[in-house]
Every structure is written in structure tokens, then in C-alpha cells.
């Protein structure tokens, strides 16, 4: 009882801890508010303690995705969707965030080049059959009565007039247009932000590294990227071939996003990124490295021309400065990563990766030649 009395005097609502409110002590407030049957001396200590010590209000801190290490607010670019209501969850150990994206980048790149090697093998194998099928089709067209105004024939004629590179990137452009239309559906906004924007502070890390390469929120952004891709498509496919180009393009999208992840984690400037700029920078850098004396021009200023080598140097310098200074209109780290990957691949990567695909092709050839043996029971 002595300890109880001390608790009531020292830990209760005495004047030393909580002065009377509106002329009434805390004991009087307790007696007035609580039912009489519950106000025995056994409950006074806990009720008075609750009255004396009040929980401090929780301080609302800004999301880490909206602020950098300097505490300045994250300014959203007009090229990315509004994500103010989207919650990001940056890891307390940022370096660990890069482990899964690193393995995904290495694994996806290997699968892309392996699939491209098999694709080329199948294309070469079917080319002879396609040649004879083409001869047969031409002979049938010569004896078959021609239809005037055949819409399908006109479409085939337009398709055949395109170069190999233009036919290759047509599917990429169609995929980008389809994803752009999905951004216009309000019910898909959360799904699009989750899977079609890359951000190391998001819960989903790996699949957006590929899907965001086909994602554009701004029509101007998509139109500019697709125009550059269409312009360089014939040159890059002539240099690499259709199959190798697809492997390089898809791998470049993932690699450039991984470089963006590394930069965001290192600087603490978390934020979503999307667009094909990283992969297109790989295409542009590869062409400019292989043809440095080629003449380029700006779309709105065709009268000013410059060499491809000088253009590549200027782009790399601008993206390097933008990455260091933290410019947020473009993802300069992704641009720079894509450009460096394009330079490395046409200089060393083609010899290290594509020229060493023969073991995989031989394994695939043996699998196709032998195949599963039917009725292979032992005698």
C-alpha cells in the first residue's frame, strides 16, 4: 500500500506531473468519466497513468522516393506518369536491392543472345525451303488471274518495299504504341506504374527493367524515340543482322535500367523511369562507332549537319553532366549506360559473345537432328 500511494502521488496526476485542467484534478475527471463500479482502488493506478502520460503524435516524414540525400523534393518529369499516390518501399540496405536486378540482367542477357543464336540457325535452315516456296508462288501468280484493287496485295507490296531493318523494328514500334494506349486506361494506372516503370524503391524490381523499355507516358516522348529507332534501323540491322540486333536491343533495355538502378541507389534520388531511350542509345552509339564519318542532322534543323562521331561525343558528355548534376528531365544514367554498352558491343562484345555461339548451336542441332527416339524400350 505504501508503494501504491507513492505511485499515485508520483506517477499519478499530481501537480508535479499534470496540473489541474479547468479547475478539476485528474482524479475528479476520472471519477466523473468512468463507471462507478470500476473505480475501485485497484484500477486507479492504471487510469491515472494513462491520464498523465500521453503518447506523442507520430511525425510524418516525407517518402524517401520523393526526396534525395540532400532533402530536396523530387521534381517529376513531364515524361513520366504522376506517382504522388504510389507508395515506394526503399530498402534499409540499398546495396542489397541491386542483387536481384544484377542476376536478372546477366541471366536475361544470356538468354537473349542464346535465343537469337537458335533463331538464326532456324532461319538459315528454312531459307532454302522458303526460296523454293517463293518460286512456286511466283509461278502461281503468273497463271492466276490478277484481281484489281486487292487490298491484301497492296499491303504485301508495301511490306516488301521496306528494308530488313524497318521490318524488324515495326514490331517494336507496334508494341510501344500498344503499351502507350494502355496508359490511357484509368483502371490500369496502378498496374502500369507497378510493372511498366522501373524504380529501385518499388516492390517489383526485375520485370519492369524489360517492360519499361516499351513504355511511354508522353506521346512526344514515344514519337521522338520511335523516329530515331526507325531512322537507324536499316544501318544497325545491316551491321548486326536481324537476330543479333534483337538480342542487343532487348539486352540494352535491361542493362541501361540496371545502370539507372545503380545511380539511383548511389545518390538516393529514387524515382520512376520509363521509355526506350536507353536501348535506342545503344543502337545510336553502335552505328556512330562503326560509321563515325556518317553525316547526321537534327529533325527540325536539317540544314545543320555533323559527323556521327562528334554527335556521339556530345551526347555522352551531356548525359555525363546531367547524371552528375542530378538533372531529372531525362534518366541520364540510363542513356549513358545504353551508349557505353553500344560502344562496347560493336568494339569487343561481338567477338566475345556472338562469335562464340557455335557450341550452343551445335547442341541445338544435335537435339533437332536426333530428337526424342520413339519406342526406345530396351530389348
Measured from the Cβ of residue 168, the count of other Cβ atoms closer than 10 Å reads 20
Measured from the Cβ of residue 315, the count of other Cβ atoms closer than 10 Å reads 17
For 150, the grid coordinates are: 486487292
Distances (CA, A) of 235 to 34, 70, 296: 84, 44, 13
Q: Is 335 a catalytic residue?
A: yes
User: What b/e readout covers 280-313, taking b as 16+ CB neighbours within 10 angstroms?
Assistant: bbbbbbbbbbbeeeeebeeeeeeeeeeebeebbe
CB-based contact 331:273 (threshold 8 Å) = yes
For 165, the grid coordinates are: 531493318
Distances (CA, A) of 125 to 121, 165, 168, 371: 6, 21, 19, 16
Q: One of 218, 335, 365, 378 is an active-site residue; which one?
A: 335
Q: One of 212, 260, 277, 332 is an active-site residue; which one?
A: 277
Q: SS3 for 202?
A: coil
Q: E strand or H helix at 189, and its extent?
A: helix 189-195
For 44, the grid coordinates are: 486507479
Q: Is 277 a catalytic residue?
A: yes
What is the rounded CA–CA span in Å between residue 270 and residue 86? Answer: 13
What is the rounded CA–CA span in Å between residue 155 and residue 149? Answer: 11
For 94, the grid coordinates are: 540499398
What is the rounded CA–CA span in Å between residue 115 and residue 113? Answer: 5
What is the rounded CA–CA span in Å between residue 239 and residue 168? Answer: 14
* Residues with catalytic roles: 277, 335
Amino acid at each position: 500500500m505504501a508503494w501504491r500511494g507513492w505511485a499515485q502521488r508520483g506517477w499519478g496526476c499530481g501537480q508535479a506531473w499534470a496540473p489541474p485542467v479547468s479547475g478539476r484534478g485528474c482524479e475528479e475527471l476520472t471519477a466523473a468519466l468512468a463507471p462507478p463500479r470500476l473505480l475501485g482502488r485497484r484500477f486507479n493506478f492504471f487510469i491515472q497513468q494513462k491520464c498523465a502520460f500521453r503518447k506523442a503524435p507520430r511525425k510524418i516524414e516525407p517518402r524517401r522516393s520523393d526526396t534525395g540525400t540532400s532533402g530536396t523534393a523530387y521534381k517529376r518529369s513531364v515524361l513520366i506518369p504522376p506517382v504522388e499516390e504510389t507508395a515506394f518501399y526503399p530498402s534499409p540496405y540499398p546495396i542489397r536491392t541491386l542483387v536481384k536486378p544484377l542476376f536478372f540482367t546477366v541471366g536475361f542477357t544470356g538468354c537473349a543472345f542464346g535465343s537469337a543464336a537458335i533463331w538464326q540457325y532456324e532461319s538459315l535452315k528454312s531459307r532454302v525451303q522458303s526460296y523454293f516456296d517463293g518460286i512456286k508462288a511466283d509461278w502461281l501468280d503468273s497463271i492466276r488471274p490478277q484481281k484489281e484493287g486487292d487490298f491484301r496485295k497492296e499491303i504485301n507490296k508495301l511490306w516488301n518495299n521496306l528494308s530488313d531493318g524497318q521490318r524488324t523494328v515495326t514490331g517494336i514500334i507496334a508494341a510501344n504504341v500498344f503499351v502507350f494506349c494502355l496508359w490511357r486506361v484509368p483502371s490500369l494506372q496502378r498496374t502500369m506504374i507497378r510493372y511498366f516503370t522501373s524504380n529501385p524503391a518499388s516492390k517489383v524490381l526485375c520485370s519492369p527493367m524489360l517492360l519499361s523499355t516499351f513504355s511511354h507516358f508522353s506521346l512526344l516522348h514515344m514519337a521522338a524515340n520511335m523516329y530515331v529507332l526507325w531512322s537507324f534501323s536499316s544501318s544497325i540491322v545491316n551491321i548486326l543482322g536481324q537476330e543479333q540486333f534483337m538480342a542487343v536491343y532487348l539486352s540494352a533495355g535491361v542493362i541501361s535500367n540496371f545502370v539507372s538502378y545503380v545511380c539511383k541507389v548511389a545518390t538516393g534520388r529514387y524515382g520512376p523511369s520509363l521509355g526506350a531511350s536507353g536501348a535506342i542509345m545503344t543502337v545510336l552509339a553502335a552505328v556512330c562507332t562503326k560509321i563515325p564519318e556518317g553525316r547526321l542532322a537534327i529533325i527540325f534543323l536539317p540544314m545543320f549537319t555533323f559527323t556521327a562521331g562528334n554527335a556521339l561525343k556530345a551526347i555522352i558528355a551531356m548525359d555525363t553532366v546531367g547524371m552528375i548534376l542530378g538533372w531529372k528531365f531525362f534518366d541520364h544514367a540510363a542513356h549513358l549506360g545504353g551508349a557505353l554498352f553500344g560502344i562496347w558491343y560493336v568494339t569487343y562484345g561481338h567477338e566475345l559473345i556472338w562469335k562464340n555461339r557455335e557450341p550452343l548451336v551445335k547442341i541445338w542441332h544435335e537435339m533437332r537432328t536426333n530428337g526424342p527416339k520413339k519406342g526406345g524400350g530396351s530389348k
